[in-house]
Structure formats: structure tokens, C-alpha cells
Amino acid sequence: MTTIKTTCIRCGGINLTPADVSLELRPGLREGDYRFRCPTCAEPQRRPANPRVVGVLLATGVIFEVVNPDPITEMEIAAFATALEAEPDPLRLLAG
């Protein structure tokens, strides 16, 4: 089985299997973060993954998900709703 070598903040060098790791990718980019739980101390950890690391992890069969680092916040939705209500003719906004 493929072994992924990384380091734990408590234990130092550790070996993981692809099943221990999950990868978070940025939309449209070949980089992101990978997460794992140390098999020795069970500490959950997160590390940045550059495109080379991403390629290695994907090649070993690590599962991945695409995450949006800047989700729309409640405040932005509220501000948008307020702007719509303040606009006497909302269709004019669509006409741009």
C-alpha cells in the first residue's frame, strides 16, 4: 500500500495511508490544503498543498473536495437584499 510521509506537530515523522488523508482544492487551482489525523496521537492537522503535493496525493488515490475559500456571507446577502429593496425599479438592475 502507498505510504504518505508527513510530519505531526507532536510526534514528528509519521506515515499515513491515502485513506487517512483528505484534500481540499481551491476552485480552478491545483493547490489547496490537505487534512489528516495523526495515527499516533489522533491530533487533526491541516497542511498547505502546493501543485506538486496535490499531484502526488491525487496519484496515491487520496479523496478530494473542491472548496470555495470565500463563501458569500450572511452580511453580503443582507446587503444585497437591502440594495434590492432600496431600488424602486429592480428590473433596472438587471438591464444593467
Which residues are at the interface with Zn ion (CB under 5 A)? 8, 10-11, 38, 40-41
In the complex, least distance from residue 24 CB atom to Zn ion, rounded to whole angstroms: 20
In the complex, least distance from residue 87 CB atom to Zn ion, rounded to whole angstroms: 55
CB neighbour list of residue 7: distance below 8 Å, 6 or more residues apart = 13, 14
**Which residue number, 7 or 82, has a Cβ lying nearer to Zn ion?**
7
In the complex, least distance from residue 20 CB atom to Zn ion, rounded to whole angstroms: 12
Report the C-alpha gap between 87 and 78 in whole angstroms. 14
